[in-house]
Each structure stands twice: as C-alpha cells, then as structure tokens.
Amino acid sequence: MPSAEGNLTWLPLTDHGDLVAPPVAAAAPLVPGARVAPIDPHLADTATFCETYAVAPDASANCVVVAGRRGETVVHAAVMVLATDRADINKVVRKELGVRKVSFAAQDEAEALTGMIQGGITPIGLPEDWVILVDDAVVAAGPVVVGGGVRGAKILVDGASLASLPGARALPLALPRHDPTTHHEESRP
C-alpha cells in the first residue's frame, strides 16, 4: 500500500548531504528530522516515482519555480502543492507576489538561480531572498516527499517544516480538484 515512505531506504539528510545538491545539503539543518533516499534519476518524475517506489501521490509535493514581473522588477518564487493538486498560478500566486504577470521560469534560468536540477528542485536551500509559497494541504499532510535538488534523490520531510523555511508562507494555493472548467496553468511539469 502506498505511503509517504514507500519502499525506499531513508537516511538522515544531515549525514548524507552528498546525495543532494550542495545548496540543499547546506540548508539541511533548517529541516530537522529530514531524511533522504537515493533513487534512479530516470524515475524522478512524480507519477513514475510514486508508482515505482510505492509513494502515495498525496504524500508527494511538487515544487515549481515562477517568475513574476511588475515593470522592470522580476521576483522569483517557489510554489509547493501536493502532487494530486494544481496551483492557482494566475490568481493566488500572482496576487501573493504582488506582480502583474507570473509565469514558470525557464529551465536554464531556474537551474542557474537555484543550483539545482529541474525535476529535483526543492524549497530547501533556495536563495534566502526568494518567496516560498506552500499550500496549506502540504503543511497539513504530515510527512511528504520533495525533491533533493538533483534527480537522483528525494527528501522525506514534515510538510509543516517547509512553511518555516526562510521566506516561506503557507496559504491555500491549490485549485479545487472538482472543477475541470477552470483554466489555470498547472503546477505539474
């Protein structure tokens, strides 16, 4: 039966920083009790990962990097929702960032700014001046799996600890699951 731990072997993140991206390893003390597991990097995409490693999709949280613009000013942020949800990028995220336009950051831009690899980007270890928007469902989920900054590792962390990272705010971000007529950008890559 799928769970947050799945069938992976979890190790203390603070003792195994070599498995994650350098900024993630440096920020490990910010998420006490976090654990890391090595995975096959070819199986890192959410649906494949959850199926292969028996991790429940509602115990997996996705992180997307967005760029918001107001005039010449660009604001980068991370948006976290459960894998079963989509973030309301065009309304909630745009309003929360106080920008006129918001879009997903280009892959090369996201990787250069975070020091992490697309498909493994996590809020743990992001630049301190970034905003991290964490959906209330992630905070309430208990243990959740997030990226390790690389495609070859995942981190198991209490969802509430993500809302206590520098620059993080918890709020309702997810679109209603039952409304297929809502046309907003999805948070799933």
So what's the pLDDT on residue 127? 96
Q: What's the rounded Cα separation, in Å, for the pair 171 and 137?
A: 9
Average pLDDT over residues 114-129: 96
Q: Are 162 and 138 in contact (CB under 8 A)?
A: yes
Q: Would you say residue 59 has pLDDT above 90?
A: yes
Q: Please provide the average confidence, as pLDDT, over all residues in the chain.
A: 93
CB 132, CB 124: distance < 8 Å: no
Is residue 138 within 8 A of residue 80, CB to CB? The reply is yes
The answer to whether domain 11-171 has CATH 1.10.150.110 is no
What the block records as the tokens of 9 is 């072997």
CA distances (Å), 94 to each of 12, 65, 88, 114, in order? 36, 13, 9, 21
pLDDT tens for 21-31 read 999 999 999 99
Percentage of the chain exceeding pLDDT 90: 89
- The pTM of this model reads 0.91
**CA diameter of the chain:** 50
CA dihedral of 189, 37, 113, 61, whole degrees rounded to 10:
40
- pLDDT of 173-189, one tens digit each? 999 876 554 444 444 44
